Amino acid sequence: MSIAAGAAEGEPMMDINTTPLIDVMLVLLIMFIITIPVQTHAVKLDLPVDNGAPPPDIEPVKNEVRITPEGVVTWNGQPIDIVRLRQYLDITQTMNPIPELHLEPDPQARYSLVDQVLAVTKRAKVEKMGFVGNEKYIQAF
């Protein structure tokens, strides 16, 4: 047996034995991992069935989106919400040829709603879009 330099025979060791501490820590870690419940997230949705035909509200040549001063968005004269507008725009972009989209906001309509509609058309990547009824704005200024 060799004796470490500078240590007298019979003196206690001054270093802490960390092996049992590490063993206890690993056992506790494994116990925590085992006892954590498995997280399951499920959302049950009834999705619509795609029949392949576009809804009758979509015209093959041009579609008109109007925004009224009351904050109503209309698609070819029928009131719709922003989600339905996005669905219609997505359908129009898959048609051949792609129909034009005519956007006609009323001069008294809230700009935030017009901005929402423009954002939806941008996200839907509408290729053929134009503003109609700009002659109404001559009287506004």
Give the per-residue pLDDT at 69.
92
Query: Which amino acid appears at position 12 of this protein?
Result: P
Please provide the average confidence, as pLDDT, over all residues in the chain. Answer: 83
| 4/100: higher pLDDT | 100
| 6/39: higher pLDDT | 39
The domain segmentation of the chain, as residue ranges, is 62-138
pLDDT at 141 over 70: no
Cα dist. 135→79, 92, 128, 130 in Å? Answer: 24, 27, 21, 14
User: How far apart are alpha carbons 33 and 29 in whole angstroms?
Assistant: 6
The percentage of the chain sitting over the pLDDT mark of 90, rounded to a whole number, equals 40
Output the pTM of the full model. 0.56
Express each pLDDT in 44-75 by its tens digit: 877 767 666 555 577 778 889 999 999 999 99
- CATH for 62-138 (2.60.40, 1.10.10, 1.20.120, 3.30.420): 3.30.420
Express each pLDDT in 114-138 by its tens digit: 999 999 999 999 988 888 887 777 7
Q: Do the bridges between strand 73-75 and strand 129-131 make them parallel or antiparallel, or are there none, so unpaired?
A: unpaired
Give the per-residue pLDDT at 140.
59
